[in-house]
Amino acid sequence: MLYAMLSHNGAFPIIALLFAAALALLAGRLRARWLAVPVWVLAGFAALFCAAGLYGSWRIHSITAATPAPGEMVDVGGYRMHILAEGASPLGAAPVIWIAGQHSAGFALKHLHDGIKADYRSILFDRPGAGWSEAGPFPRRTALEAAELHTLLERAGERGPFVVVGHSYGGLLAVNFARRYPEQVAALVLLDATPPDSLVYGGFDGLAMVSRLGMLQALARSVGVQSDLLDVMASRNPRAADQYLPVKEALGENLALINRAEAGPKAGWATASIFSEGAHPQVLDTAFDLVVYDGELGDMPVYVVLPGTLQSLDWDDDEAVTAFQAATGMPAADLSRFAHISEAMRYRFLQVSSAARLLRAPAGTGHLFPYETPGFVIDLVRQAVASPVPADDAVGGANAPQRR
């Protein structure tokens, strides 16, 4: 309820004003001065937050008003989602849907969309709260967003079946969409998709940290501080700055466009909400709707694409390991087991379909290989459109050429 309220631009200063008024009223009724003074101080702070919120609301409005949606806004049941569909597929070729990682706007994969739209129908969309889409209902859940995507495609007039491509947490949405609407999926391309196992058995509650960062971003933007979540994460972990450099290089001006579209608090609250579904102990309640288990996709063609380098942490780097332990609280005795589990569970999606095939991104690439080697991903998706069933010589296979 609180997330839903605060996701709307202008809500923060109203709530702050109500708090200030309530505290001032309380302070006026207190007879003991030693009690009234701190209450007056709190009322003053609430008034300052109200003023900051008014400034933030004005700034948000000025930024978003100058950043119109590049695609179509479609009503999906009392709120609107943004979809950008470009290009035309040859007769019999499936359109492609791109789903970005985290809870990012569709434009986070614009560089890949641009790489195929001249030859195939290519579709980007913003999940509620992200990009240009309105906030929608809370709490945000992957099961809900699979249904929202289905409604969006139907009402936008896009006809499947589709080749659905999902990266990271977007891959989790892609596989959930495929389980619920298998007739709408010609093939599934999972780019190092997040397995639900990692949420339960990951060894630390990483999604809770991302959820908290989403809250901080939302609050900052409510008072006019236009912080970027990637920059916040990089500031907490300097090594992340280098890791996210390929994202900034691949997206270029599109990254700035996303930040302008998400100038308000809705994206931060949506991020906080969606990642709470995998945080402890909430994941125990959401896991049944979230997981896609062995065999549930029948014989659907599934490309399980993993990075060239599976380990995101150099375990021989003492400084990196120490920083990881400080961030997660993981005992040194558990590190080797964590390394093994985190690698093994990357293969879990091979079990969801009898037609799943493992492919590897070029050597040396990490989790962000859709940005490090976009040409590889574009070639792979073209192949999935041309021949949905993964072949032995598929791009990224053991004997396949790999291009950057």
In a domain, 258, yes or no: no
What is the distance between the alpha carbons of residues 361 and 372, in angstroms, rounded to a whole number?
A: 10
In a domain, 299, yes or no: yes
Q: Which of 12, 47, 65 is the last residue of a domain?
A: 65
User: Between the CA atoms of 130, 131, 132 and 137, what dihedral angle is there, to the nearest 10 degrees?
Assistant: 0
Cα 140 to the chain's mean position, in Å?
12
What count of other Cβ atoms lies within 10 Å of the Cβ of residue 47? Answer: 17
What count of other Cβ atoms lies within 10 Å of the Cβ of residue 299? Answer: 11
Q: Which of 13, 41, 65 is the last residue of a domain?
A: 65
User: Between the CA atoms of 150, 168, 106 and 185, what dihedral angle is there, to the nearest 10 degrees?
Assistant: -30
**DSSP-based three-state secondary structure for 101:** coil
Helices (H) and strands (E) in the chain, counts: 18, 8
- Quote the pLDDT of residue 311: 67
Are residues 353 and 285 part of one domain?
Answer: yes
What count of other Cβ atoms lies within 10 Å of the Cβ of residue 231? Answer: 15
Are residues 136 and 117 part of one domain?
Answer: yes
Are residues 358 and 292 part of one domain?
Answer: yes
In a domain, 219, yes or no: no
Are residues 31 and 14 part of one domain?
Answer: yes
Residue 13 is part of which domain span? 2-65
Are residues 37 and 118 part of one domain?
Answer: no
What is the distance between the alpha carbons of residues 58 and 123, in angstroms, rounded to a whole number?
A: 32
Are residues 161 and 41 part of one domain?
Answer: no
In a domain, 268, yes or no: no
Are residues 185 and 289 part of one domain?
Answer: yes
In a domain, 272, yes or no: no
- Quote the pLDDT of residue 403: 35
Are residues 89 and 44 part of one domain?
Answer: no
In a domain, 306, yes or no: yes
The number of distinct structural domains making up the chain is 2
What count of other Cβ atoms lies within 10 Å of the Cβ of residue 296? Answer: 15
Are residues 55 and 165 part of one domain?
Answer: no
Cβ atoms of residues 94 and 65 within 8 Å: no
State both tokens at 222. 């409510």
In a domain, 242, yes or no: no
Are residues 323 and 193 part of one domain?
Answer: yes
Query: In degrees, to the nearest 5, what angle opens at C-alpha 177 toward C-alphas 374 and 165?
Result: 10
What is the distance between the alpha carbons of residues 329 and 205, in angstroms, rounded to a whole number?
A: 10
Cβ atoms of residues 66 and 260 within 8 Å: yes
State both tokens at 287. 């896991």
Are residues 164 and 22 part of one domain?
Answer: no
The residue written with tokens 């009223």 in the block is: 25
Residue 184 gets which letter from DSSP? G
What is the distance between the alpha carbons of residues 332 and 322, in angstroms, rounded to a whole number?
A: 9
pTM of the model: 0.91
Q: Which of 65, 91, 113 is the last residue of a domain?
A: 65
- Quote the pLDDT of residue 335: 78
In a domain, 124, yes or no: yes
- Mark the ranges of the chain whose per-residue pLDDT is less than 70: 202-205, 227-241, 311-316, 327, 391-404
Are residues 82 and 56 part of one domain?
Answer: no
Angle, helices 33-65/253-261, rounded to nearest 10 degrees: 130
What is the distance between the alpha carbons of residues 50 and 11, in angstroms, rounded to a whole number?
A: 10
Residue 35 makes CB contacts below 8 A (sequence gap 6+) with: none
CATH number, domain with residue 311: 3.40.50.1820
